[in-house]
Structure 1
């Protein structure tokens, strides 16, 4: 049985690091690296990140698809045979990094750090209104979103969660489905950690922004396709939003001509909120490789109907 890594957007150094861990875990693994996959018939397990569309059709003996990260939308958006399972990475370090990034963004807005950076540059001494009172809403309250709510609540801020499905005995105030307006009415910092599904593509749009409290601050760390990008700057200009912290985009790298670069109310980071650690991720993939060979249950398998 063979394993192929297909991640054309990752650097040679990154791929080499993954290869080293795989071979350390299983020196006998038949490992092929895209684009140099010479024996496609031997590939039964693929490890994917931003793979070329349609390439999965080229492996006639494929039995398992593994995401290199926690997200699987790049896989679900492509052709996937119904009988082939998909797994993802679950890593506490991903949660740690994501939560710290989001908390950083929330506190920067609360204490107006960007304003003071601009004041610094213009040598302006302005002590007025040093804090913005905030209430934080997180859309998508799985492992990542739940941890964000816990940590932000621990700092003493009011928090509210929102998701597509009801939850019983959730530890924070929670709304779902058609209760979106009730959720939005309570927050002025909006964090998107929704999974990317057919229902959530374009979820962050002009209609939603108009339902927000005036001056709401947006943080998107989920997927670029959640945001209708052309709706953001008008929403800021009209006052529905006061600004945004964005780590994910429709097209990455974000083109130099993109208007987000030019708007001081929008902070851009290059998809670094939470980075997969190959030393934590590769053993999970190799465990599933071994489980597949032994006909044992897989770990971290997604529900295809839910898309995550």
Structure 2
């Protein structure tokens, strides 16, 4: 079922009241872009939003712009016509706190692909060419060459062949890597040089040829915990794992076991179950794990504001199905 059934909205195609909700991110960086896009709208965040809720006028809010929004705040915004994620996914939103008729939209940003592609190519090259060791050598003023393996001899697998996965695959192929892709269902329009796999029956064959495995799957009920010990044991011994999907794709204890076994040799993580990653988390103390603070790619605030306007206009005209996420699929 999609979130296409919405209650009537005002004839105006622009929201009057917009709230910014997050329990992990300061959302004020979005305010200038939203003020420019919606000059007549009242914007609420932080103390102003709390005051509005306390006043009993929370039903004035038309749009909730969200990144890990507090469920209790979403639940009291009874007048919502749109919940706008600021990311490509909606897994960070507690859908149970919403009325069933509220459309939920995600960001579809063509610029996001270039940012993710640059990050993924860096992460692959950084480990495959032993750049981590060269940084250590330089710190110690040591001139030492590490083994050089041509990209064509290094097999890179991408789990998730959506727009971001496809962009990364094309770039890695252009560099010269041996690239393979896996998706839950067959894909068309893939590059001719890409080795394509799909479904559970082809997953083991795909994993067996991944010297580096990149997770770019959407987070759904089916893909949560995708990166578990059983999967890691199907990779070539000493493989490099890169997770730029969602933190919930990874079973953290299983990763530590796979590292201790030597099954996984190196890890690059940009997303985590808890963000920011707590200072006492064991990942910080493992030199085999490279941590980046969820910065693989970002969408510009102006793009988020523009897509919010387009989504709200479509919903106002009864075309929510065209812009809203299919809540069963999660994207």
State the TM-score, normalized to the length of structure 2: 0.86
Secondary structure at the counterpart of residue 107 of structure 1: helix
Counterpart of 1:243? 266
Partner of 2:25: 10
Q: Is the 8 A contact 1:64 1:85 kept in 2?
A: yes
In 2, the alpha carbon distance for the partners of 1:260 and 1:196 equals 22
Runs of 4+ in 1 over 4 A off after TM superposition: 296-300
Structure 1 position 74, deviation (Å): 0.9
Matches within 5 A, 1:7-156: 7-11=22-26, 14-15=27-28, 17-37=29-49, 38=52, 39-75=57-93, 78-131=96-149, 133-156=153-176
What pairs with 1:217-296 in structure 2 (closer than 5 Å)? Answer: 217-296=240-319
Report how many residues are paired. 305
Q: CA deviation at 1:123?
A: 4.1
Residue 81 and residue 109 in structure 1: after superposition, are their counterparts in 2 closer, same or farther (change >3 A)? same
Q: Using the TM superposition, give the Cα deviation of residue 116 of structure 1 relative to its aligned residue in structure 2, in angstroms.
A: 1.6
Alpha-carbon distance in structure 2 between the residues aligned to 1:174 and 1:189: 16
**CA-to-aligned-CA distance 1:226-259 (integer Å, 9 cap, x gap):** 1111111221221211110111111111111112
In 2, are the aligned partners of 1:25 and 1:286 still within 8 Å (CA)? yes
Which residues of structure 2 form unaligned runs of 5+? 1-15
| RMSD of Structure 2 on Structure 1 (CA) | 2.0
Higher relative contact order by CA 8 Å / sep ≥ 6: 1 or 2?
2
Q: Secondary structure at the match of 2:62?
A: strand
**Distance (Å, rounded) in 2 between the aligned partners of 1:45 and 1:36:** 15
Q: Which moved more, 1:57-66 or 1:239-248?
A: 57-66
Residue 6 of structure 1 contacts residue 35 of structure 1 at CA under 8 Å; is this kept in 2?
no
Counterpart of 2:327 (choices 297, 304, 307) is 304
Partners of 1:87 and 1:139 in 2: CA distance: 24
Cα deviation, residue 196, structure 1: 0.6
Q: What is the rounded CA distance, in whole Å, between the counterparts of 2:319 and 2:46 in structure 1?
A: 28
Per the TM alignment, residue 59 of structure 1 is displaced from its structure 2 partner at its CA by 1.9
Deviation at 1:78, TM superposition (A): 4.2
- Check if 1:162 corresponds to 2:182: yes
Further displaced range: 97-106 or 165-174: 165-174
What is the DSSP-based 3-state SS (H/G/I as helix, E as strand, rest coil) of the residue aligned with 1:83?
A: coil
**Unaligned stretches of 5+ residues in structure 1:** none
